[in-house]
Amino acid sequence: MPTQEELKALVGRAALAYVTPGTIIGVGTGSTVAHFIAGLGEMPVPVAGAVSSSERSSAALRDLGIPVLDANDVTRLEVYIDGADEIDRSGYMVKGGGAALTREKIVAALATRFVCIADGSKVVDVLGTTFPLPVEVIPMAANAIIRRFAAGLQGTNGTAELRRTSDGSVLVTDNGQHILDVRGLRITDPMAFECAVNDWPGVVTVGVFARQKADVCLVGTEAGVQTLSY
Ligand code: 5RP
């Protein structure tokens, strides 16, 4: 029985098949993407460059000699490769476990095709039920947003708390903002949920990816890579 890490490596490497050598691609963030980045470094004809969704991924790309471009200097990417915390049967996702959700949505929006790479544990029937939903917020709005989730308007009832680092300090994102993690949700209409929460004052981005959903998901299973297209 392969470990979760082995399944992440399997799909990370499988995603290389979606990369055209010599092009500029979008690269996400996380432990699954780390395997993909390692594979990029071994391509016989490398990519021309990457737009990355985090400082962490940018550093890993640069370490391999892959040029990192500013999103402002790119109009279109052929493909964006990233992981997910949850993905449902329609390709809608919860993302942001690595606190990179806002940049992930920005880079995903530049790409023609979103290829999600996930081990089988990430596939769910209903979003919000197995992984706390990350929401990036402007610090001064955090408590008001926590109260909005507690009030549960628009099907958004959940318990939100500020994400902290291992030393107990409040986590600060690459954008200088904070993350709320929301538990106890059942997101039955991801598109409506994303629009509603994104509209709350002080929300930078909600980690529901409905408008920027996956086009393809490579799922790592005991039987190998399963390819789901939406
Ligand atoms: C980072 C993300 C990641 O894609 C998500 O958390 C999955 O991470 P991992 O591949 O480490 O399981 O959204 O913000």
The correct CATH number of 4-124+211-229 out of 1.10.287.610, 3.40.50.300, 3.40.50.1360, 3.40.800.20 is 3.40.50.1360
How far lies 196's CA from each of 138, 144, 179, in Å?
Answer: 17, 15, 18
Ligand 1: which residue has its CA nearest to atom 10? 32
28 lines ligand 1 (CB under 6 A): yes
Q: Report the pLDDT value the prediction gives residue 118, as an integer from 0 to 100.
A: 98
| Stretch 207-220: mean pLDDT | 98
What angle is formed at CA 201 by the lines to CA 114 and CA 159, rounded to 5 degrees? Answer: 75
Instruction: Please confirm, yes or no, whether 104 is among the known catalytic residues.
Output: yes
How far lies 86's CA from each of 26, 90, 97, 214, 228, in Å?
Answer: 20, 12, 10, 11, 14
Rg (CA), the chain: 17
- Pick from 13, 5, 1: nearest CA to 225: 13
Q: Report the pLDDT value the prediction gives residue 155, as an integer from 0 to 100.
A: 78
Start and end residues for every CATH 3.40.50.1360 domain found in the chain:
4-124+211-229
- Pick from 130, 141, 152, 137: nearest CA to 198: 137
Q: Report the pLDDT value the prediction gives residue 182, as an integer from 0 to 100.
A: 98
Q: Over the stretch 58-115, which tens digit does the pLDDT of each residue have?
A: 999 999 999 999 999 999 999 999 999 999 999 999 999 999 999 999 999 999 999 9
CA dist., res. 93 & res. 88, Å (int): 6
Start and end residues for every CATH 3.30.70.260 domain found in the chain:
133-206
CA dist., res. 67 & res. 69, Å (int): 6
How many angstroms separate the alpha carbon of residue 82 from the centre of ligand 1?
8
Q: Report the pLDDT value the prediction gives residue 156, as an integer from 0 to 100.
A: 84
Q: Over the stretch 144-194, which tens digit does the pLDDT of each residue have?
A: 999 999 998 777 899 999 999 999 999 999 999 999 999 999 999 999 999
Tell me which of 6, 55, 78, 104 is the catalytic residue: 104
* 182, two tokens: 């929301």
Q: Over the stretch 5-61, which tens digit does the pLDDT of each residue have?
A: 999 999 999 999 999 999 999 999 999 999 999 999 999 999 999 999 999 999 999
97 lines ligand 1 (CB under 6 A): yes
134 lines ligand 1 (CB under 6 A): no
φ, ψ of residue 105 to 5 degrees: the values are -70, -35
Q: Report the pLDDT value the prediction gives residue 88, as an integer from 0 to 100.
A: 98
| Stretch 204-210: mean pLDDT | 98
DSSP-assigned letters across all residues of 120-173: GGGB-SSBTSSSPEEEEE-GGGHHHHHHHHHHTGGGT--EEEE-B-TTSSBP--
95 lines ligand 1 (CB under 6 A): yes
> For 133-206, which CATH class?
alpha beta
